[in-house]
Structure 1
Amino acid sequence: MEHPEPDTRTFERGLAQYVRAVASAVGVPAESTTVEISDTATAYLGLPRRWLDRPDHDVMLVWTERRGWSLAVETEPTAATEVIAHHGGADLVPTPAVVARFVADTAAGRHCGPAAPSAVNTATRTSLSEQLRPYLGSETEPPA
């Protein structure tokens, strides 16, 4: 009898492929991304742009399993990052095109979302694994 892949491995592989798809959509090479699974799952994409009001600081796109996507700038190497905007909504796994639009709109000053999320999402890793499953084996978008 075939055993299904453990949920943690499915989650890790799905998240990595999803982050690669988002990176492609925002024009970031895969080597500029990081995915970490520990007590909290996170992803990081270093963006190849500077923020107009902080031209000396790196801009990053960050994902957490509780908050979803955020744009932030690094202030100092030892200091916490400063969040510029959060992608609103309850969907922690929006399509890569939606994330790319969020980045472009925020960079252009058109993002209306809050700088801080209003609540922590309570999606479980099992639920997130199911949302990420279409990205398994995909290098870009999930199958239609």
Structure 2
Amino acid sequence: MRAVAAGVPDESTTVEISDTATAYLGLPRRWLDRPDHDVMLVWSERRGWSLVVETEPTEDPVVIARHGGHDLVPSPGAVARFVADAAAGNHAGEKKPAPGTAATRKSLAERLRPYLHPR
């Protein structure tokens, strides 16, 4: 996650591994349609990367865009381009997860291994 979170303070990042693995990065930007709400980059082992706007605590976040394709672990550069494109109004990608994107934990662990950095 550090490879994708370049420039994002540690306190704005979270990783959770429970029944599913997820990651959260609070981005230092606002969305024009919701200037009072935080923008988040969220990763799920089932859906990959999504750019979302945080809403009220009782509401689900609003999905702006999902990184398209079947690759749940795109390169950090591809994720950065996805965020930049979405921020520019080019909401490329899929609104729903692509069918067949499920991966085993073992295969995901192997794909994520190059991005692990000891603290």
Tell me, yes or no, if the aligned pair for 2:73 and 2:112 is still in contact at 8 Å.
Answer: yes
User: Aligned pair 1:59/2:57, yes or no?
Assistant: no
Question: Aligned pair 1:69/2:69, yes or no?
Answer: no
**Number of matched pairs:** 119
Structure 2 residue aligned with 1:131: 111
| SS of structure 2 residue aligned to 1:79 | coil
| 2:5 is equivalent to residue 20 of structure 1 | no
Partner Cα distance (2:87, 2:64) in 1: 10
Normalized per residue, the structure richer in strand is 2
Q: Give, in whole Å, the separation in 2 of the partners of 1:138 and 1:97.
A: 21
Task: Report % sequence identity.
Answer: 74
The CA distance in 1 between the partners of 2:88 and 2:72, in whole Å, is: 23
TM-superposition CA deviations, 1:104-144 (whole Å, max 9, x none): 110001232222224362210000011011123368xxxxx
**Structure 1 regions of 5+ residues with no counterpart?**
1-18, 140-144
- Kindly report structure 1 stretches of 4+ aligned residues shifted beyond 4 Å: none
TM-score of the aligned structures, taking structure 2 as reference length: 0.91
**Correspondence list, 1:111-126, <5 A:** 111-119=91-99, 121-126=101-106
Largest Rg, 1 or 2: 1
TM-score, with normalisation over the residues of structure 1?
0.77
Match of 1:90 in 2: 70
Bigger RCO of structures 1 and 2 (CA < 8 A, at least 6 apart): 1
Distance (whole Å) between structure 1 residues aligned to residue 103 and residue 56 of structure 2: 32
Q: Name stretches of at least 5 consecutive residues in structure 2 with no aligned partner.
A: none
